[in-house]
Amino acid sequence: MYDYLIVGAGLYGAVFAHEMKKQGKTCLVLEKRDHIAGNIYTALEEGIHVHKYGAHIFHTNDRKVWSFITQFAEFNRYTNSPVANYKGEIYNLPFNMNTFSKMWGISTPEEARAKIEEQKKEALASLEGEPKNLEEQAISLIGTDIYEKLIKGYTQKQWGRACTELPSFIIKRLPVRFIYDNNYFDALFQGIPVGGYTQIVEKLLDGTEVRLSTDYLEEVKKAKAQGCENPETLGLAKKVVYTGPIDAYFDYSLGTLQYRRVEFEEEILPVDNYQGNAVVNYTDADTPFTRIIEHKHFEFAHRYHADGSLLTPEEEAADPKTIIYREYSVEWKIGDEPYYPVNDDANNALYAKYKALADQEKNVIFGGRLGEYKYYDMDVVIKVALEKVQEVISAG
Ligand code: FAD
Ligand code: UDP
């Protein structure tokens, strides 16, 4: 009998297992995929740590979270500074003085503000009150030129809908700065773990039994068929920590929550540097993908041997390689891998109904990005997992 049956070997499940082990509790982890680490899984290919489920940049303002995560890896000084490519024209992101000066040939914050104000007045003369959709919100923030070149096409590709039909909150998280600063995140701590993310989860799960390629919900079905008294624990543990999709746990009985999904097209190229940056967004409407990630730039173009040592310049020159991922945004349907929860009003309302059902499950803790249906970044996942452990331990 284990103390906890943890469903999902992602970051939430691994942090929970690690902390509970420190408290002397026993955990069994079941993972549907054939590897640990959930969406932060990285794999070494051609000497490059490839982010297999999309680019992950660690950033936080929380000292406690930063000191927690840095126990398990050394972080490099990578700063996220994406570049936008609009039909061959290159602009810095997020929107800042570098973007404005390239777009308009201006040099001071005053000139930039005046330009935005002028374009906003012209385009939104008839607007009364708050912006009603993403288009109006974007034009209010940075004017029509940037909206047309850097937002309109990208957003439509990413969300599969016109900007006039999207809520304004989506764009609010993008910083607009009147200083020359290409750093995307306003975070005190930022970086990429040297050696990738998978090793962090490996260390978190050290000493904990993990069963891969095991779908918990299928196991519950079997347990029910066998007349097991507490099918949700599979008769194996006192409590369950479930980090899969909350609607799947309840067999979608109230309806399906929506997710956004990303598809990656991987290409291995015989060059040492393809695009000169880790992230390049293609912001026009005609290019079918949203962005290209060149993974080696997350680690300053270093390549590694399996033992963690760096390739020598001679080894690099003899066999230059880079790996790129073209990202396509696609509709999600049941059975697909869920990526981003769509936290709009309709989906949040449906989630609230599932949450009410979840609260009645006495033996099950729902956690993580899918279990709580929240657009959590990694730092928040760590924070909420640590808090949950504290809460459970204090409750005895
Ligand atoms: P997950 O990683 O999804 O883990 C859940 C695990 O449960 C999975 O391994 C899944 O296979 C397993 N599971 C589900 N159902 C079952 C079942 N029935 N039986 C057994 N196992 C099951 N965060 C950042 O901080 N910075 C970033 O730059 C960033 N970029 C991102 C880019 C993308 C494309 C995505 C999708 C996310 C990004 N994130 C980023 C968020 C980050 O991935 C999450 O915060 C984190 O991975 C969530 O961890 P989790 O354990 O909650 O979920
Ligand atoms: N966005 C855009 N152009 C860009 C980058 C972002 O229009 O070059 C918009 C887009 O609508 C996106 C939102 O800003 O959904 C938030 O972007 P971010 O990259 O922060 O979001 P994520 O990819 O993490 O969802």
- What's the CA gap between 105 and 101, in Å, rounded? 5
Query: What is the reported pLDDT for 15?
Result: 98
Decide: 62 in ligand 1 pocket, CB within 6 A.
no
206 annotated active-site: no
316 annotated active-site: no
Q: Which pLDDT tens digit goes with each residue over 320-357?
A: 999 999 999 998 888 888 888 887 889 999 999 999 99
Report the candidate in 176, 196, 198, 195 with the shortest Cα–Cα distance to residue 186: 176
Cα 90 to chain center, whole Å? 25
Active-site option among 173, 229, 286, 307: 173
Decide: 174 in ligand 2 pocket, CB within 6 A.
yes
Query: What is the reported pLDDT for 381?
Result: 98
Tell me what the mean pLDDT of segment 306-326 comes to: 96
Query: What is the reported pLDDT for 190?
Result: 98
Decide: 339 in ligand 1 pocket, CB within 6 A.
yes
251 annotated active-site: no
Tell me what the mean pLDDT of segment 234-256 comes to: 96
Active-site option among 122, 218, 336, 375: 375
Q: Which pLDDT tens digit goes with each residue over 95-125?
A: 999 999 999 999 999 999 999 999 999 988 7
Query: What is the reported pLDDT for 124?
Result: 81
Decide: 33 in ligand 1 pocket, CB within 6 A.
yes
- What's the CA gap between 220 and 249, in Å, rounded? 10
Query: What is the reported pLDDT for 396?
Result: 79
- What's the CA gap between 310 and 47, in Å, rounded? 9
| Whether 66 contacts 189, CB under 8 Å | yes
77 annotated active-site: no
122 annotated active-site: no
Mean pLDDT value across the chain: 95
* Ligand 1 pocket, mutate which of 173, 243, 339 (most atoms under 8 A from CB): 243
Query: 250 C-alpha to center of ligand 1: Å?
Result: 19
pTM over 0.75: yes
Decide: 338 in ligand 1 pocket, CB within 6 A.
no
- What's the CA gap between 287 and 335, in Å, rounded? 28
